[in-house]
Structure 1
Amino acid sequence: MPSRRRFLQTLSAAALTLPVMPLSVMAGNTEQPYQGPVLRVALMGLGGYATLVARGLESCQRARLAGLISGTPEKIRSWSEKYGIAGKNCYNYENFDQIRDNKDIDAVYVITPNALHHEQVLRIAKAGKHVICEKPMALNAREGQEMIEACRRAKVKLLVGYRMHFEANTLEIVRMRQAGELGKIRFFQGLSGFRIGDPGQWRLSKQLAGGGALMDIGIYAINGSRYMVGEDPVWVAAQETKTDPQKFKAGVDETIQFQLGFPGGAVASCLSTYSMNNLDRFFLNGDKGFAELQPATGYGPIKGRTNKGELALPHVMHQARQMEEMAGIILENKKPLIPVDGEEGLKDLKIIDAIYQAVQSGKKVSLKL
């Protein structure tokens, strides 16, 4: 049974073989090289996903890898050699506050276990650097609010690693919905899951992950329901199923089904699991048409179809597109079609809190986002 780490490694390897269209071609910029401002990014946490972000940065025009933060000296050594990162731009988890004096670094991308995000983001903000934080942004809404306030006080931006907010097929469906081509939205289904392996990994630790499948993979269905429907939910109901209490201990969810209600009348039915494969599908249904993505949130290519036919927009490595667009947000105050700021992350945390509350109470929980 493959572990989550092996799952990431497999996806990373697969990503290396995918045809990736250069960002310059996607932007129509085939003449003169980019000469504008560049976001200099330090990666915090040099695991499997950071490897993909680093590769994405290699093809960016407006962002580049400029620093490394890790608790493993060997990773610092190998990464700095591979990417040509100077020793003065390398830190560990004890001394990274010193980045406040480093003019070579503009932002830090936090790619560490969920439980570490809160403290690390507070420290980065205090050091005066912009923050990109992997999702979920924190363990709960209280922590998320504190992170937003800390970045606001420090006058730095806080973004969340919602890579799907920049994916072409996803954005086409959002455009269709906004243009009224699907009619009044009635229903959304989000299926997010895989069979997790190694029982000793941090994602199965309540202390490090803050939960189980919902915090890791289920957040895609939570967030996807909101940008697909185009509204924030006003209530949630949820039910948990646990078949292996040895592997999925108290506070670590194996499978949760949850339902969301939206102010316009649409409903969502979603599933988050660590015990089933082949679950990566979004389906949106309206009075005039439908849209489907399958796979919906993997590393790509994303495949979709609507009542008008297949969606076949060009694949761009998600991490490259994300970092290119986030550089524009930080450096030029650009506004993405779907927000990726701390407030967006906070809304998902409020829904996660409510889902766990609904599981415990067995009752529908009202939401005010």
Structure 2
Amino acid sequence: MKTFSRRNFLQVMMMSGAASTVFSSHSLLACTNRIQKSRLGIALVGLGYYSTDLLAPALQLTKKCYLAGIVTGTPEKAERWKKQYKIPDKNIYNYQNFDQIANNPDIDVVYVVLPPSMHAEYTIRAAKAGKHVFCEKPMAMTVAECESMIKACRDNKVKLAIGYRCQHDPNTREYMRFAKEKTFGKVQMVACGAGYFDPRTDHWKQKKALGGGVMYDMGVYALQGARLATGEEPIAVTAQHFTTRPEIYKDVDETTLFQLQFPSGTVAACHTSFGINMNYLQANCEKGFFKMEPFSSYSGNQGISSQGTIQFPLANQQAKQMDDDAEVILANRSLLVPGEEGLRDIRIVEAIYQAARSGKQVKL
């Protein structure tokens, strides 16, 4: 063994000190960058109706995030969005070169706004690219897909928020508070309906392979309404499917009725449809009631309770949702609606489909 001289010792200490200084400088720089960045760049994946008519306009109102990029398979759309929103060429991607988004520091968040059958793939790819993810509802088609999305985001140390805009709406927060604080005593029964008449005959919502079916779409709103109004998770479900247009709804459900039982004994009667317009929630409690109509619209959600009117103004629901989630990411706090919340719904949706097929109660 060589003798470890005083000179050797001093040289090692000097090198260690230099390395420590460099490491500390890099750490300090990283922290400084994180603090100084006050807005997150969002790339919208899929430029259909929801992105075009709602998310892009909302991103002109946000304070904590902005429209930084787009992902589309349609060159004409890419050119139109580029001109309208002044998006640089380097921030425009298609589905073939999507993974190159990993090398783009302008983009912090990928917002997946695709048919549900594609949610898992693009959430996982975005996570592997090191980007935080906002994913539209329904989170995915199966519990297994939801779990894989959560794992991918956790493994890559990015956050996953589900686009449940209503949970950011102060009107929804109010009836959630009623449930949590038992303002009117125990909730005894909930009735909830979410649906609209869809005249289309060849849309992805009518195709099973793309994630169609009313329960995945409007049904999630009715399910959320019941869960949030009770503050509980159901322990059993029964369900029935109906259609008035079997020539259109061959592979997926047009109208679904489902009934939920909760641990406290509360029951919920819910229905959802692509053939009926409805948007309401009513909860009867031991010492009063609360009712919302509409309860899940893009704007104007309002209601009444035994205490009076429920009507909190909100300028733009989607802008608040994205700002809330961006602020959480910037501060590295917990999300209001993380991937686990989307997973809860899909676990129940799977049980509802099973109950409708079997005609029997399914326990959760």
TM-score, L = length of structure 1: 0.87
**Alpha-carbon distance in 1 for matches of 2:315, 2:174:** 14
Q: Deviations over 1:84-141 (max 9, x none)?
A: 1111011001111001100010010000111111111111111110111000011111
Partner of 1:356: helix, strand, or coil?
helix
In the alignment, the residues of structure 1 paired with residue 182 and residue 125 of structure 2 have an alpha-carbon distance, to the nearest angstrom, of 44
Shift of 1:59: 1.1
- Name the CA distance, whole Å, in 2 between partners of 1:38 and 1:321: 14
Specify the alignment match of 1:331 in structure 2: 330
Q: Which runs of 5+ in 2 are unaligned?
A: 1-35
The one-letter code matched in structure 1 to 2:338 is: D
Kindly indicate whether the alpha-carbon contact (under 8 Å) linking 2:71 and 2:94 is maintained by their aligned counterparts in 1.
Answer: yes
**Which of these residues, 333, 338, 342, is aligned with residue 339 of structure 2?**
342
What residue is the counterpart of 1:292 in the other structure? 291
Which residue matches 2:221? 220
CA distance in 1, matches of 2:37, 2:43: 20
Aligned to 1:131: 133
- Distance in 1 of aligned mates of 2:135 and 2:325: 12
Tell me how far apart the structure 1 counterparts of residues 218 and 99 of structure 2 sit (CA, whole Å): 31
Specify the SS of the correspondent of 1:214. coil
Give 1:160's match in structure 2, choosing from 162, 179, 185.
162
Q: CA deviation at 1:289?
A: 1.6
Does the residue aligned with 1:55 lie in a helix, a strand or coil? helix
The aligned counterpart of 1:319 is 318
Q: Which has the higher contact order (CA 8 A, sep 6+)?
A: 1
Rg larger for: 2
Native 8 Å contact 1:53 1:319 kept in 2: yes
Task: Tell me the residue number matched to 1:106.
Answer: 108
Please state whether the residue corresponding to 1:231 is helix, strand or coil.
coil
Q: 2:209 aligns with which of 200, 207, 210?
A: 207
Match in the other structure for 1:259: 259
Q: Report if aligned partners of 1:45, 1:112 keep a CA contact under 8 Å in 2.
A: yes
Contact kept? 1:225, 1:268, Cα under 8 Å:
yes
The residue type equivalent to 1:86 in the other structure is: P
Q: How does 1:1-369 map to 2 (within 5 A)?
A: 37-51=38-52, 52-209=54-211, 211-250=212-251, 252-277=252-277, 279-335=278-334, 339-367=336-364
Do 1:39 and 1:62's aligned partners in 2 also have CA atoms closer than 8 Å? yes
Could you say what secondary structure the match of 1:65 adopts? strand
Deviations, residues 211-241 of structure 1 (Å, cap 9, x unaligned):
4111111100112211111011111110111
Deviation, 1:48, is 1.2
| Deviation at residue 329 of structure 1 after TM alignment | 2.0
1:183 alignment partner, SS class: coil
The answer (yes or no) to whether the contact 2:179–2:228 under 8 Å persists in 1 is no
* CA shift for structure 1 position 176: 2.6
Letter in 2 for 1:308: Q
Q: How far 1:303 sits from its partner (Å)?
A: 1.8
Whether the 8 Å CA contact 1:71–1:93 is kept in 2: the answer is: yes
If the length of structure 2 is used for normalisation, what is the TM-score?
0.88
Report runs of 4+ in structure 1 exceeding 2 Å deviation. Answer: 176-180, 333-336
Partner SS state of residue 69, structure 2: strand
Identity of aligned residues (%): 45
Q: Secondary structure at the match of 1:78?
A: helix
AA aligned to 1:64 is Y
Residue type at the aligned position of 1:260: L
8 A Cα contact 1:36 1:62, kept in partner: no
Q: Deviations over 1:266-315 (max 9, x none)?
A: 111100111112x0001122111211110111111112111122222112
Once residues 310 and 293 of structure 1 are traced to their aligned partners in structure 2, the CA distance between those partners, rounded to angstroms, is: 10
Q: Which secondary structure does the structure 2 equivalent of 1:85 belong to?
A: coil
1:180: how far off? 2.4
Cα separation, 2, equivalents of 1:285 and 1:76: 49
Q: Distance in 1 between matches of 2:96 and 2:229?
A: 41
Taking the aligned partners of 1:65 and 1:126, their CA distance within structure 2 comes to: 21
Is residue 111–residue 133 contact of structure 2 (8 Å, CA) maintained in 1? yes
- SS of the residue corresponding to residue 66 of structure 2 reads strand
SS at match of 1:237: strand
CA RMSD of aligned residues (A): 1.4
